[in-house]
Structure 1
Amino acid sequence: MKVAVLSFAHVHAATYIELLRDRSDIELITTDPDAPPGDPKRGKALADELGVTYRAGYEEAFAERPRAVIVTTENTRHRQLVERAAAAGAHILCEKPLATTEDDARAMIEACEQAGVSLMTAYPVRFHPAFTALRHALGDGSIGSLLSVHGVNNSSVPGLDRPWFADPALAGGGAVMDHTVHIADLLDFLLDGEQPTQVYAVANTLLTAPGEDEPNVESAGLLTLTYARGLVATIDCSWSHPSSHPTWGGLTLTCVGQRALVEFDAFPPLLDGYDAVQAAPRWEPGTINLDAAMLDSFLAAARTGQRAHPDGETGLRTLQTVLAAYESLRTGQPVVTAAAARPLPHSGSYTSLSPREGRCSSQERT
């Protein structure tokens, strides 16, 4: 199957390329026409380093009629490429956040529905087997009804390597835009799409690297989400890992139920040792490759024409939480969302899992 990676702007682009390059069932095409001249981490220089086929522009990539594309541009440029890919009949995996405005997200969803192609939002953490076990425990009543959830998604400052992350015109925001959505997706999946009725957020720009000027976007944030059933969830979305931290990022979820407390760690403790050559500690990852698991799901949907999940509607719902957070930051007050006007869901109504979990036909809608 022919797959195109469109842009190398996002930090995950190189990872996707390496995973696809090593698959015998994939013919990979890459392009990054918006790369800054001379940037060794972008454009043809990176493609040559990774040993993959490179095309000069998006038109050249689309001319090869890929069956699937991965959009890894800057956040505010997602819509343009998603609409072009949909018009070309390609199934789409789009980096998170799906968009930076609700209008863009809805337009992307509509373009894909009209073209009959899948639109998947890149949320790899939900593919972790430990998170699947957490969903099972919630669904079968083992932990009882959820009372509270505390989510943490921290990382180093991405703008140190990719300056556009700190440019609101390209990123749409800072840490709140960047890291809220992963936790919001896990909550969305646990609660079968139920959205918070109220969002309150606080943020600041105090977390900076040594010698760095104060950023143009927030570098630390904390959200409090309230749900109609009484559940309260918090999301720490800060860029709080120093450059010396053994991992670039991390994600944890603590769920307090009526019967039990469950902790989920997407990136468990690492294997550690000492590198004599570098005269420094060395850490090796000790977890599964979540990006590979997500790509497997996306490629399977692209081959069969089934609807990919998490889909565009999921991306829209998580974006709505982010946008409510920014409105709260603007006003300094909690924001009542559209979900507050909807009927209270049954507290025990969770979707059961099946071998077809996360997939449905292209005619179904969420």
Structure 2
Amino acid sequence: MKWAFVGASNIASEWMIGAVRALGDEVVAVVSGSAERAQAFASQHRIRHALTDIRALAGLGLDAVYVSCTNDQHEAAVLQAAAMGCHVLCEKPLALDLAAARRMVDACAAAGVVMGTNHHLRHNSAHRQMRGVLRQQGLGRLVAARISHSVFLRAQLQGWRIDRPQAGGGVVLDIAVHNADSLAFLLGEYPVEVMAMTQASGMGQGVEDNAMSLWQFASGLCAFTHQGFNTPHASNRLEILGDRASLEARGVLNQAPGGELVWRRSDGDLSLRLDHDNLYLRGLREMHQAIAGQPHDMATGEAGLKSLAVALAVLESARTGRRVAVDYA
């Protein structure tokens, strides 16, 4: 497939270029609001076309567009890609509000193209192993889930994420969406209500850089999630707790593969072997499956909309100090 990248981003440079090429696909163009940045990106990665206007992509014979510009620009890019008849892989969060996300999903459906959300964490080996155990009812009745997903946002990734709320900055839109998708992938459901508190602990300027939240699911399960930007010595962890056993995954909420997974049972702890497949490459393989009409585990556009709905409810709860029902409309 022939791809265009809209957004000369760090994730595009560090992960997506290599993943696309590893599949035998080609990146033929990059679009950035800065001509200098577009040209530098194209030169670094040997891309033929460096553009500043997404409309200039028409006529390049594209099959797909990867969108990784700032969150406030996602909608325009996705709508243009759909209008060109291109499949779309969009970074999360899809947009800043549900109405925009719905327009994006609907535009792709109307154009007959596949839309994916780049929720890479579901492609970690630990997530796949955990889902297998859960499908076998290996924990008994599920009681609770805990996610500690607090990091230190390195300097080159800070920028708009820590000081531009109008661009979709803040830790909730950046990380809570991942946590929502991870739990949906594992549990097969999204929360119905949330409660949350946020803070600006020193990194965020006008946006939150730390958030704690409780999520209630229709099944009765409760989940605790911690999202943070300003914790340089924190480790990440994902746990699913049942009445007969539990699963504990450590170091699995990263861009790189790895980590460890333990199945804790009454007859002893069992360490489950994890592969080290590239998460983004696996995600692209799943997208190829979706395009071919085959079974897949890609996070769809609809999945991206639902994870955004959870994050928006978290922000609303923190703002109002109230329990908030998640609106997936």
Residues 158-197 of structure 1: pairs in structure 2 closer than 5 A: 160-166=156-162, 167-171=164-168, 173-192=169-188, 194-197=189-192
Higher helix share: 2
Q: Partners of 1:338 and 1:21 in 2: how far apart?
A: 38
Say if 2:42 is the partner of 1:3.
no
Q: TM-score, normalised by structure 2?
A: 0.85
Question: 2:243 — aligned with what?
Answer: 258
Contact 1:71/1:94, CA 8 A, preserved across alignment = yes
Deviations 1:97-153 (A, max 9, x none): 111200001101110110011110111111122211211111111111211100122
Question: 2:279 — aligned with what?
Answer: 290
CA positional deviation for 1:158: 5.4
Deviations 1:44-91 (A, max 9, x none): 112212222233232232320211111111011111111111111111
Residue number among 90, 94, 97 corresponding to 1:94 in the alignment: 90
Residue number among 63, 81, 100 corresponding to 1:104 in the alignment: 100
Say if 2:43 is the partner of 1:51.
no
Q: Aligned AA for 1:313?
A: E
Question: 1:224 — aligned with what?
Answer: 214
CA positional deviation for 1:190: 2.1
Say if 2:123 is the partner of 1:133.
no
Q: Partners of 2:321 and 2:117 in 1: how far apart?
A: 30
Residue number among 55, 58, 61 corresponding to 1:62 in the alignment: 58
Structure 2 vs 1, CA of residues 87 and 55 (structure 1 numbering), >3 Å: closer, same or farther? same
Say if 2:299 is the partner of 1:310.
yes
Q: Aligned AA for 2:16?
A: Y
Q: Aligned AA for 1:225?
A: W
Question: 2:193 — aligned with what?
Answer: 198
Contact 2:131/2:187, CA 8 A, preserved across alignment = no
Q: Partners of 2:245 and 2:304 in 1: how far apart?
A: 30
CA positional deviation for 1:188: 1.1
Q: Aligned AA for 2:195?
A: Y
Question: 2:265 — aligned with what?
Answer: none
Q: Partners of 1:105 and 1:307 in 2: how far apart?
A: 24
Structure 2 vs 1, CA of residues 185 and 328 (structure 1 numbering), >3 Å: closer, same or farther? same
Residue number among 203, 225, 246 corresponding to 1:235 in the alignment: 225
Deviations 1:314-362 (A, max 9, x none): 11111111111111111111113358xxxxxxxxxxxxxxxxxxxxxxx
Q: Partners of 1:111 and 1:307 in 2: how far apart?
A: 22
Residues 263-342 of structure 1: pairs in structure 2 closer than 5 A: 263-265=248-250, 266=252, 268=258, 287-302=276-291, 304-305=292-293, 309-338=298-327
Partner SS state of residue 151, structure 1:
strand
Q: Partners of 1:109 and 1:338 in 2: how far apart?
A: 16
Question: 2:18 — aligned with what?
Answer: 18
Contact 2:125/2:277, CA 8 A, preserved across alignment = no
Q: Aligned AA for 1:205?
A: A
Q: Partners of 1:328 and 1:225 in 2: how far apart?
A: 11
Contact 2:210/2:230, CA 8 A, preserved across alignment = yes
Contact 2:4/2:66, CA 8 A, preserved across alignment = yes
Contact 2:127/2:186, CA 8 A, preserved across alignment = no
Any gaps of 5 or more consecutive residues in structure 2?
A: 261-274
The number of residue pairs the alignment matches comes to 305
CA positional deviation for 1:154: 2.5
Aligned residues: percent identity?
A: 30
Partner SS state of residue 322, structure 2:
coil
Q: Partners of 1:73 and 1:261 in 2: how far apart?
A: 39
Q: Aligned AA for 2:18?
A: E
Partner SS state of residue 178, structure 2:
helix
Partner SS state of residue 233, structure 1:
strand
Structure 2 vs 1, CA of residues 43 and 307 (structure 1 numbering), >3 Å: closer, same or farther? farther
Q: Partners of 1:108 and 1:216 in 2: how far apart?
A: 28
Contact 2:309/2:327, CA 8 A, preserved across alignment = no
RMSD over aligned Cα, in angstroms?
Answer: 2.3
Any gaps of 5 or more consecutive residues in structure 1?
A: 209-213, 271-285, 340-366
Q: TM-score, normalised by structure 1?
A: 0.77
Partner SS state of residue 237, structure 1:
strand
